[in-house]
Every structure is written in C-alpha cells, then in structure tokens.
Amino acid sequence: MGTSSKSIIRKIIRDRRRGLSDDQRICAAKGLLDQLLALSAFQEAQSIAMYLVNDGEIDPVEVMKWCWRNGRRAYVPVITSEKGSTLLFAELQEDTQFTENQFGIKEPVTAPEMLVEASALDLVLMPLVAFDSRGNRVGMGGGYYDRTFEFICSTSASKPVLIGIAHEIQKVEEINAESWDIPLSLVVTDCGIYQLG
C-alpha cells in the first residue's frame, strides 16, 4: 500500500468518524474506558499518556477522569521546538490551562522543566486513523509518534506499553506496514480489544 492508498484510507476514515453524533461519541468514550479496565496493563499503569481530541478521534475523557479518581497521572503530548519532530508529555490536572500549538491542537500550558520524556511513561494510548487486525495502523501522517517511540524497537524497552485506541468503525481489512511504523501491543475500541502480533 503506497502513500496514496494511505491518503485515501485517511480521508475515508476521518470522514466516517467525523460523522458520528454527539451521543455516539459520548457512548464510545464510556465504552473505551470499560474495555481498558479489562486490561491488567492499564490497571497497573501509574503514568498514562493519552491525547486531547482534535479531529473526531475517540475521546479519552472518561479515561482522564478515571486517572484522577484513582491516583494515576494523566499526560498528553506536547510538540516542543527543543525536541524537533518528537513529543514530550505534560501532566494534566483538572484545572490545567491550555493553549494551541502550530497545528491548532490544544496543549497544556506547562513549564518546560515539567515535561517528561516518553520513556518515563508506563502506558500510552495512541490516536490512530485506521487499523487492521494485525496491528498495522494509519496515523495522521506527521510521524510524531513513530519518531517518539522508535527507542522501543532499538532498545527492546519494556515500557511504555503502546495501545492504539479508536472507534470500532476505524477498523479496515488490511494496511501494509512501513518499516518505520512502531508496532502496537493492542488496539482497543469502544467495542473490543484486539490482541496483536
């Protein structure tokens, strides 16, 4: 599957998820948390990264609330000029203030010294545009997550655990992996858990 094929999948699936109603989104957010709670890797994680919804992705808001209620630390990615094309992570509190980055995506207002490296996290819930049952995925095309987590493949690091999260409607029959794609351990949707590999 070439870049053009991924571009076509990206457009189709982004349109599909943008077409969900508010009620469907709320229901999906609750379903996502229910599915994650069945995973020991999620239950045992103390530092969990997720994202702020921007383009119809499944909303991890219920996961954030669960983290705050249960003494877990919730983080979201931040694009910094110091790190160039990789991500650092800022802890989210219930009273966190936000600003917009260069892509118009909300990010927490956080002092640079408070940002953490990806390797410090226990578990990362990664956004994706589409996925297949083998764990291949299509992202937004910027490559930030692949570059940020490439150390897992080069060092055989055991953490963080990478879990893709998506609406069930984002599953497609087949996606060809690229050499730079970082493999996921699981994909979790509002309806199920896909064990990969």
Instruction: Tell me the pLDDT of the chain averaged across its residues.
Output: 89
Using DSSP's 3-state secondary structure scheme, residue 146 falls into helix
Amino acid (1-letter code) at residue 196? L
> Where are the alpha helices (H) located in 56-163, listed in sequence order?
61-69, 144-148, 150-155
Q: What's the pLDDT score for residue 1?
A: 42
Tallying the residues shown for the chain, one arrives at 197
- Residue 119 — very low, low, confident or very high, per pLDDT cuts 50/70/90? very high
Q: What's the pLDDT score for residue 2?
A: 46
HEC assignment per residue over 21-35: CHHHHHHHHHHHHHH
Q: What's the pLDDT score for residue 155?
A: 72
Quick: pLDDT tens for 35-45. Answer: 999 999 999 99
Is 3 a residue whose pLDDT tops 70?
A: no
Characterise 116 by phi-psi region: left (phi > 0), alpha (psi -120 to 50), beta (else): beta
CB 72 within 8 A of CB 91: no
Quick: pLDDT tens for 43-54. Answer: 999 999 999 998
Q: How far apart are the first and last CA of the chain?
A: 19
The Cα 25–Cα 40 span in angstroms is: 25
- Name the one residue in this structure whose structure tokens are 């383009």: 55
- Residue 179 — very low, low, confident or very high, per pLDDT cuts 50/70/90? low
- Residue 81 — very low, low, confident or very high, per pLDDT cuts 50/70/90? low
Higher pLDDT, 168 or 158: 168
Q: List b or e across 53-75, with b for residues whose CB sees 16 or more CB atoms inside 10 angstroms.
A: beebbbbbbbbbebbeeeebbbb
- Residue 184 — very low, low, confident or very high, per pLDDT cuts 50/70/90? confident
The Cα 97–Cα 141 span in angstroms is: 27
How far from the centroid of its chain's Cα atoms is residue 85's Cα? 17
Please give the backbone phi and psi of residue 52, each rounded to the nearest 5 degrees, phi first: -95, 130
- Residue 178 — very low, low, confident or very high, per pLDDT cuts 50/70/90? confident
pTM of the model: 0.89
> In the sheet where 47-49 sits, what is the strand order?
87-92, 73-79, 47-49, 123-127, 161-166, 186-189, 193-195
Q: What's the pLDDT score for residue 145?
A: 86
Delineate the domains of the chain, giving CATH numbers in brackets: 3-195 (3.40.50.10420)
